[in-house]
Structure 1
Amino acid sequence: MTYANFVSSLTQPEPPAGLSPLLEALWYAGRDEWHRAHSIAQDNEHDALHNWLHAFLHRQEGDAGNAAYWYRRAGQPVVAGSLRREWEEMVRTQLPE
């Protein structure tokens, strides 16, 4: 799946079949379905990418302190820029061009 296909799938009622948990959570985050995305993030706190996702979600929620904690766990700097740009960066790390 390409980035363009992923973005266009956001209009569908369900995520595309076969997505990794990280991409599925990003799909929900891209639709502003925070609770569904956060539930997946909480179930997958075993690596830096999922911790980055968790940080992003808390930033999306407006909880900067909790986001900073998850950025540290992910080994990522705290992001202050656009949420959409950070979301795109995470998605692109998981998909081919």
Structure 2
Amino acid sequence: MTVAEFRVADSTQFSGPLLALWWDGQGNWDRAHEVAQDVPGKDGAWVHAYLHRKEGSLGNAAYWYGQAGRPPESGDLSAEWERMVEELLLRGEL
């Protein structure tokens, strides 16, 4: 699945971190955050970090990037979102 296909796919195809990113891609930050809070592990922390960075809570985002084992991001949010979706899709994290 490509990022373009992901954007228009039905949410029922996804779970965990990809479901959170799908909701964010639909413009529903609150639902994305609800989902991300329930995703264990580094991928959940990564999505959680991205969402807090998008929210503007950089200190909170830095904490979650640390939990994900990743350096804090500072670039374009949409580019980060696409990289995350691509990586998770390549790993088969549906």
- Return the TM-score normalized by structure 1: 0.85
Q: Which of structures 1 and 2 has the bigger CA Rg?
A: 1
Runs of 4+ in 1 over 6 A off after TM superposition: none
Name the structure 2 match of 1:3: 3
1:13-92 to 2 correspondence within 5 Å? Answer: 15-44=10-39, 46-92=40-86
Aligned length: 90
Q: 1:21 Cα shift?
A: 1.8
Partner AA of 1:4 in structure 2: A
How many angstroms apart in 2 are the aligned matches of 1:4 and 1:34? 19
Q: 1:3 Cα shift?
A: 2.0
- Return the TM-score normalized by structure 2: 0.87
After superposition, the CA RMSD in angstroms is 1.3
Identity of aligned residues (%): 48
Structure 2: runs of 5 or more not aligned: none
Report the structure, 1 or 2, having the larger helix content: 2
